[in-house]
Amino acid sequence: MDRLGLGLQVLQTYREMKKRQKNWAAVLQDGHQYDYLRDEVGSRVADRVYDIARTFPLALDIGGGKSHIAEHLTKNVVERLFLTDISQQTLKVQRQSDIPTQRVLADEEFLPFRENTFDLVLSSLTLHWINDLPGGLRQIHQVLKPDGVFIGAMVGGETLYELRCSLQLAEMEREGGFSPHVSPYTAVTDLGNLLGQAGFTMLTVDIDDVQVYYPGIMEVMTDLQGMGESNCAWNRRSMLHRDTMLAAAAIYKGQYCMSCGPSAL
Amino acid sequence: MSGSNVWSRSRERLRVFPELLSQCAGEAAVYGKCVAASTTGKQELKKDLCAKEFEVLKTCFTNAARKRIR
């Protein structure tokens, strides 16, 4: 019982930390400059909604943030929208949309909705922070009506491998060991299984590559922070040593620099 | 939090990091190449394998930082 209690406490701190990071990111003066990824993926998710020739009377966007999907949809496709997010500050910063939207402060892991409520559930770039993904997917399945649709875009696969590798090599060379700085992601194959186990049928799982080029590792990390996507794994180190940061920056530039001449290699 | 504090000063230092690093591009490349070589070569990457190259890089970086403050 003790270990279970401690485990839950750790997970709560983890979600609490994520909430604080997102609140911080939401009130940044120039926060909109970090929206590019969510905007791009949001529009792609909206495309998938249009692919389904249906009108959805009631939809739910979980972890919707500033609402990056609804701005691409019309009232013909979605008549009414509920949008949840764990961060109150983010909910205050809402984009304009045709669709009447109700904002709800809620954790994706504890959806405050009755079963068989929604015709459509959307999720863009939020599921990767859910502790219990099978549970989360089951909840989504529960709040959906029997013929409901779930369309989600999730970070996975090889995302941020340049960042992860650079940090890993740098920590290895400078400190003799390494700790996790980038969360492990769900593999595409596992995702199919998880969706099936949660009760979904007629699955389609595919991979969309979004490549973003950065001048260096610091810019990657700054942008991630601005997106509210900083590390908050329970087993993360609380600091990054100065020397390791310098080493990682040099390794990143050397390995992954696109515009460097052959002399840099 | 208003005014200058340890967090804002820290962030400011980090903001100029890329600029300082660009002044040591050569040294960074040499260090990077050393580490990269260990991932493909026979030698396993362990602590201080490229310590010499790193010290050169760090000296350059520290000097660039000092020059900037003046």
Question: Each residue of A7-58: pLDDT tens digit?
Answer: 666 666 678 889 999 999 999 988 899 999 999 999 999 999 999 989 999 9
Show contacts of A67-70: CB within 8 Å, 24+ apart.
Answer: A67/A94, A67/A95, A67/A97, A67/A101, A68/A35, A68/A38, A68/A39, A68/A41, A68/A42, A68/A43, A68/A95, A68/A124, A69/A42, A69/A43, A69/A45, A69/A122, A69/A124, A70/A95, A70/A97, A70/A98, A70/A99, A70/A101
CA-to-CA distance for A252 and B21, rounded, in angstroms?
Answer: 12
pLDDT at position A264: 30
Listed residue (A189, A170, A260, A222) closest to A25, CA to CA: A222
The answer to whether the Cβ–Cβ distance between B35 and A247 falls below 8 Å is yes
Query: What Å distances lie between residue B5 and A22, A24, A53, A97, B2, CA to CA?
Result: 22, 17, 55, 39, 8
CA-to-CA distance for B16 and A197, rounded, in angstroms?
Answer: 49
The A78-85 sheet, strands edge to edge:
A101-105, A78-85, A56-62, A118-124, A144-153
The answer to whether the Cβ–Cβ distance between A250 and B32 falls below 8 Å is yes
Q: With cut-offs at 50, 70 and 90, classify the pLDDT of residue A265.
A: very low
- pLDDT tens-digit series, residues A201-217: 999 998 998 999 998 99
Q: Is the pLDDT of residue B62 over 90?
A: yes
Q: What is the CA radius of gyration of chain A?
A: 20
pLDDT at position A158: 84
Residue pair A167/A197 in contact by the 8 Å Cβ criterion: no
A233 versus A163: the higher-pLDDT residue is: A163
Listed residue (B39, B23, B12) closest to A246, CA to CA: B23
Pick the residue from chain B with its C-alpha nearest to A216. Answer: B18
- pLDDT tens-digit series, residues A46-101: 999 999 989 999 999 999 999 999 999 999 999 999 999 999 999 998 788 889 99
Provide the 3-class DSSP secondary structure of residue A117: coil
Listed residue (A248, A208, A232) closest to A23, CA to CA: A232
CA-to-CA distance for A240 and A246, rounded, in angstroms?
Answer: 10
Say what the pTM is: 0.87
Residue ranges and CATH numbers for the domains of chain A are: 1-154 (3.40.50.150), 160-182+210-265 (no CATH)
Listed residue (A139, A73, A63, A46) closest to A106, CA to CA: A63
The answer to whether the Cβ–Cβ distance between A263 and B28 falls below 8 Å is no
Pick the residue from chain B with its C-alpha nearest to A261. Answer: B29
Measured at the CA of A81, the angle between CA A78 and CA A86, to 5 degrees, comes to: 145
Q: With cut-offs at 50, 70 and 90, classify the pLDDT of residue A181.
A: confident
Both structure tokens of A211:
């490549």
Query: Which DSSP helix (H) or strand (E) runs through A78?
Result: strand A78-85
Nearest CB neighbour to B58, from listed A175, A216, A243:
A243
Q: Does B49 touch chain A (CB under 8 A)?
A: yes
Mutate to test the interface with A, among B10, B14, B16, B21 (most CBs of A within 10 A): B21
Q: Does B2 touch chain A (CB under 8 A)?
A: no
State mean pLDDT over B57-66. Answer: 94
